[in-house]
């Protein structure tokens, strides 16, 4: 029996996508599970029309083996904090969080398996051991990883309750006029391109609090604090107000001034209540060199 607890990133998704993503199965395999009644949501048989919510428990008896496997790889990790229950990692730009189609190795999970061995929570299965939340491949910054199931469940509940502090720095196109504002627009799959997210009626509620940190000629450095954690939330929200993230290959402008390998978006602040001690802990990570170099150029102007 496989079990997967839905994370905030998949909140509101269709059951077939969530199960395929969570278990590492193909969509066709998930469709067979639903037809056979062997895929359940919170103990009841799943229906094709189901959409999952954060914290839902998916279980299935796989009719075919998982398509992916995660093996330990000796990849350096920038560990900001570690104890017996969890660790906080500063993920570099370009690193995928867990194995997936097109990225079977070289991921954060592969590195964690080499560093932690068997000391990772098993709630999200063999493909995502210890992974409580994710950030995009080309976004850098802080992630918390659970070593035990107890820690994983506590951290997941905090994310679900929107009590985890998550603040990002982003360089966006254009001059943002307001010093601070809140974007509250629903996000869901784009009806025009299912590989993209978009602000859509009927999407999942999404809230981003934005504060200007520095204005440059043609650009603005902003701090984005997440109240919710939808897929690509900051990138979609900033595009929706006419200020796409610089370097964003999906939601950004076509002609970028700077030569970049991805968006200038960095998870600089992460805070949560320790799942065992009950103490609030907060961590910060400095901007990566490529981000700072762009800001230095803008400062010189």
- DSSP structure string for 187-218: EEE-SS-TTSEEE-TT-B--EEEEEEEEEETT
Claim to verify: residue 296 and residue 199 sit in the same structural domain: yes
Claim to verify: residue 100 and residue 27 sit in the same structural domain: no
pLDDT in tens, 15-71: 998 888 888 777 778 888 888 888 999 999 999 899 999 999 999 876 544 444 678
Q: Which residues lie across from 5 on neighbouring strands?
A: 57
Cα distances (angstroms) measured from residue 188 to each of 31, 56, 62, 185, 199: 22, 19, 28, 10, 6
Claim to verify: residue 171 and residue 252 sit in the same structural domain: yes
Q: Is residue 285 part of a domain?
A: no
Q: Which residues of the chain have pLDDT under 50?
A: 64-68
CB 245 within 8 A of CB 238: yes
Per-residue pLDDT at 66: 45
Helix, strand, coil percentages, rounded to 5, for the chain: 20, 30, 50
Catalytic residue among 21, 56, 136, 138: 136
Whether residue 136 lies in the annotated active site: yes
Question: 31 is in which domain, residue-wise?
Answer: 2-60
Q: Is residue 242 part of a domain?
A: yes
Report the domain count for the chain: 3
Per-residue pLDDT at 41: 94
Claim to verify: residue 54 and residue 135 sit in the same structural domain: no
Q: Which of 159, 182, 215 is the last residue of a domain?
A: 159
Q: Which residues contact 176 (CB under 8 A, 6 or more apart)?
A: 210, 212, 215, 220, 222, 243
pLDDT in tens, 108-132: 999 999 999 888 988 777 777 889 9
Q: Is residue 276 part of a domain?
A: no
């Amino acid at each position: 029996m496989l079990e997967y607890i839905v994370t905030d990133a998949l909140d509101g998704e269709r059951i077939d996508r969530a199960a395929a993503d969570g278990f590492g199965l193909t969509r066709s395999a998930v469709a067979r599970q639903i037809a056979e009644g062997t895929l359940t949501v919170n103990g009841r048989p799943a229906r094709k029309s189901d959409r999952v919510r954060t914290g839902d428990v998916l279980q299935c008896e796989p009719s075919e083996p998982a398509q992916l496997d995660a093996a330990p790889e000796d990849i350096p990790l920038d560990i900001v904090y570690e104890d017996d229950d969890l660790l906080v990692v500063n993920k570099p730009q370009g690193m995928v969080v867990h194995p997936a189609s097109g990225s079977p190795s070289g991921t954060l999970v592969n590195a964690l398996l080499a560093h932690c061995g068997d000391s990772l929570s098993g709630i999200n299965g063999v493909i995502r051991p210890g992974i409580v939340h994710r950030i995009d491949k080309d976004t850098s910054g802080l992630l918390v990883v659970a070593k035990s199931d107890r820690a994983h469940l506590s951290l997941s509940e905090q994310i679900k309750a929107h009590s985890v502090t998550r603040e990002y720095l982003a360089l966006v196109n254009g001059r943002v006029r307001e010093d601070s504002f809140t974007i509250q627009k629903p996000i869901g799959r784009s009806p025009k391109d299912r590989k993209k997210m978009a602000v859509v009626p009927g999407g999942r509620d999404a809230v981003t609090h934005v504060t200007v940190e520095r204005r440059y000629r043609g650009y603005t450095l902003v701090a984005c604090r997440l109240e919710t954690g939808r897929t690509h939330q900051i990138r979609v929200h900033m595009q929706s107000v006419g200020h796409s993230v610089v370097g964003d290959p999906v939601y950004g402008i076509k002609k970028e001034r700077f030569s970049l390998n991805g968006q200038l978006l960095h998870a600089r602040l992460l805070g949560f209540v320790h799942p065992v001690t009950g103490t609030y802990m907060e961590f910060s990570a400095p901007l990566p060199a490529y981000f700072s170099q762009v800001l230095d150029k803008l400062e010189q102007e």
